[in-house]
Structure 1
């Protein structure tokens, strides 16, 4: 395999030829990825002038608070690492702390994963999942052994009662804007749906959730409720779906005690590790493609990332792919091995929703 050239780029400061050589060997075994959107520079010593895209690395001790503030003001991020793991603080103040073994080549691996287009929190997860010499084991040395991945530090305890399991492959999973849509789609034979109601007053919200849950019972289907876990529990819903931001506010113990299933959204490796800590019933991964149904906090993930996500977690927890997936794209999505695909406009935006559902279901049955 041709070795990718990193040596002519300002990848490390000060320049570090040995690290560049190792980073090139690692990068050459990670596959073909689009270039990073940012020209990251890993600073092994304090830069004279920090800049946006710098990641200043401090080993074994906290950085001087004044220096750290100055670096962040200039747009740089900071990694503080020691024998027990590493913590990244971005220029915006977001902190991502990981516990795990630091391989000898972790800085070279970090550079390689950044070059693959991963944002620093996810590249740091992958760098800590790396093991020295992995680049010699084959053409694709991507970390896919969950036992080797770090843990997210500082999380609250997971609920004592695990969330109930759901089917390992949920199949077609329409996300629908109203109880009327839930009724309509369940009547077409779909087994799993999600009700995602936006900006409804409390009385209407409870009515919509109650109607959707009742429809699920009549059809013997699984109805998940997006966000509104209290109302979902009151109605006896099969499950609830939450975003990463909801993990800060939702009472996960109460959700577990209610018997509801829990689905969690993830957008990369760090969020995946954070979600796994709480032992959810399934993980949703996206957005796979660009989508107009909601504002994206991260760039579209693409099929290559989804395929590696499936290889890592396919036997651990059910996975749902979401984001910009329609009938033409569905075969390629399923080819990654993912067991469920959530769709929105592919059903609700179709001229003939019944035909759209039938066509989508047919791809799953092939």
Structure 2
């Protein structure tokens, strides 16, 4: 593989030849990745003028709080490093606290992961999972040992009662908008389905969920309810699926006590750590491809990232790929080793839904 010209970029401030050389060694061993959209600059000392795209590294208490506020106001992120890990605060005020051990080459690793196109909070997770000398071992140096990853700190306690487990491979997983659609796909032999109801009155919502859950019992199928965990618990649903934002408001202890399974959406390494803290029944990664069914808050993950997630977590928790998956893409998705693929318009917008479901199911049997 060709040597990457990181030395031609304004990557560190002040310029640091040794860090550049280490970053190049690491970057070469990480494989081919799309170029980063943002020209990140890691500032080892206070920049004369902070700017968007700067990540100012503060060791211990070497910077005044007012300076850090000023850097963030200019759009820069601040990485505070201590003996127990590191914390990133973005220019927009988001804060990501990680507990772990920093390798000697963690700054070089951070630069390399940023160059692979990861956002700073995910690149920082990977940098803390890095061990000195990883670039010299194996065919590829990508961190895939979960025991070496940092821990997301500052989160509420996970429920004392664990969430029930799911099958390790959930298979074809349609996400449908109504109980009628739940009945249609379960009658076609689907074993896992998610009801995602939008724009319903409280009474309509309860009726839709109760009808979907009853259908799941008749077919001995796994019916997950999107978001509406209270109504799902009242109906005795098999499980509920929540987004990251729902973790701030949902009563996870009540969900666990109800006996429902819990699926959580994730969009990267930090959200993965955050979700794992709560010991969910499965994790969903997305969006894998561009999708028209939902506004994306992050760029599509792509198959290369999905394959890394599977290698990291496949032995620990069931995984679901979601976002833009249709029949033409399903074989490539399954080739990553993921045990389930969620589909939306590939079924609900198909000219012949029954034929679409049959072809999608057959792809899982190849």
> Normalised by the size of structure 2, how large is the TM-score?
0.99
Aligned residue in 1 for 2:122 = 122
Structure 1, residues 71-96: CA drift from partner, whole Å, max 9, x if none? 11111000000121000000100000
Superposition deviation, residue 62 in structure 1: 6.3
Alpha-carbon distance between aligned partners in 1 of 2:157 and 2:51, rounded to the nearest angstrom = 38
What are structure 1's unaligned runs of at least 5 residues? none
Aligned 1:221-240 pairs, distance under 5 A:
221-240=221-240
**1:208 aligned counterpart, secondary structure:** helix
Alpha-carbon distance between aligned partners in 1 of 2:228 and 2:2, rounded to the nearest angstrom = 51
Alpha-carbon distance between aligned partners in 1 of 2:296 and 2:165, rounded to the nearest angstrom = 29
Structure 1, residues 220-246: CA drift from partner, whole Å, max 9, x if none? 100000000000000000000000000
Q: CA RMSD in A?
A: 0.7
Large movers: runs of 4+ above 4 Å? none
Alpha-carbon distance between aligned partners in 2 of 1:3 and 1:321, rounded to the nearest angstrom = 33
Alpha-carbon distance between aligned partners in 1 of 2:277 and 2:211, rounded to the nearest angstrom = 32
Structure 1, residues 277-334: CA drift from partner, whole Å, max 9, x if none? 1000000000000000010010000000000000000000000000000000000000
**2:58 aligned counterpart, secondary structure:** strand
Structure 1, residues 251-274: CA drift from partner, whole Å, max 9, x if none? 000000000000000000000000
Q: Could you tell me whether the CA contact under 8 Å between 1:29 and 1:138 is conserved in 2? A: no
Q: Could you tell me whether the CA contact under 8 Å between 1:176 and 1:182 is conserved in 2? A: yes
Alpha-carbon distance between aligned partners in 2 of 1:127 and 1:62, rounded to the nearest angstrom = 22
Query: What is the total number of aligned residue pairs between the two structures?
Result: 366
Q: Could you tell me whether the CA contact under 8 Å between 1:62 and 1:80 is conserved in 2? A: no
Aligned residue in 2 for 1:330 = 330
Superposition deviation, residue 106 in structure 1: 0.4
Alpha-carbon distance between aligned partners in 2 of 1:126 and 1:156, rounded to the nearest angstrom = 23
Q: Could you tell me whether the CA contact under 8 Å between 1:30 and 1:139 is conserved in 2? A: no
Aligned residue in 1 for 2:176 = 176
Alpha-carbon distance between aligned partners in 2 of 1:344 and 1:200, rounded to the nearest angstrom = 19
What are structure 2's unaligned runs of at least 5 residues? none
Do structure 1's residue 305 and structure 2's residue 305 form an aligned pair? yes
Aligned residue in 2 for 1:63 = 63
